[in-house]
Amino acid sequence: MPDAEDKAPDAEDKAPDAEDIVDHIYSIVGSRSEQHLTPIKAKIWMDLSGLQWVGVWILCGIGTLILIAMVGIGIDYVRSAPAPIHIDITQVSSSVEEIENMSKVVDMYKELSEISTKRALDTFNAVVSQALIPILTSVLGYIFGSLGKKKSNETPNTGDNPSDDG
């Protein structure tokens, strides 16, 4: 079997097609099972226009920003959440005054927990839900919409569709 170095010099000048790219990927990965790329999937990536590739990179960037924001909000929540209280019931006397004090401590702990949770949820809502997700969906809409438009332009009009004029 000839290797890539044994090919004719003019074979290097031609642009690789989807099957060549998939074969190259399989040579790196080492297997050609169903879970890897198929030529159809590789062709979809090859058919993206320049503007669609920009959309894909923007999509990756926004996804990364969402991930970073969620990790940051989670870390902030863990750091600002009150430490759990430990009450040893065996050490508490049964006096009414001490029971009321413990009840107040538990109520304050609940309030602090609610404040911490509300802060994290409000931050998530403002940053991720209201800022990044709408941008993400608009970029996805552009990519899939333009791919659908390109595919509908490639399919021949058979005249079977009643909405077609002509």
The tokens for 107 are 């109520």
3-state secondary structure 110-161: HHHHHHHHHHHHHHHHHHHHHHHHHHHHHHHHHHHHHHHHHHHHHCCCCCCC
In this predicted model, what pLDDT tens digit does every residue of 111-130 receive, in sequence order? 999 999 999 999 999 999 99
The pLDDT assigned to 44 comes to: 59
pLDDT of residue 77: 93
Q: What is the CA radius of gyration of the chain?
A: 30
Asked if 72 and 103 sit in the same domain, the reply is: yes
Say if residue 71 is in the same domain as residue 104. yes
Percent of the chain with pLDDT over 70: 58
Question: Which pTM value belongs to this model?
Answer: 0.56
Residue 5 has pLDDT above 60, yes or no: no
- For tokens 């969906």, name the residue: 137
Which range of residues forms the domain containing residue 137? 50-153
Whether residues 102 and 40 fall in one domain: no
Residue 80, C-beta contacts closer than 8 angstroms, at least 6 positions apart: 116, 119, 120
The whole-number average pLDDT for the span 17-32 is: 65
Whether residue 40 is contained in a domain is answered as yes
| pLDDT in the model for residue 35 | 54
- Distance between CA 86 and CA 95 in Å, rounded? 19
Q: Are residues 71 and 124 in the same domain?
A: yes
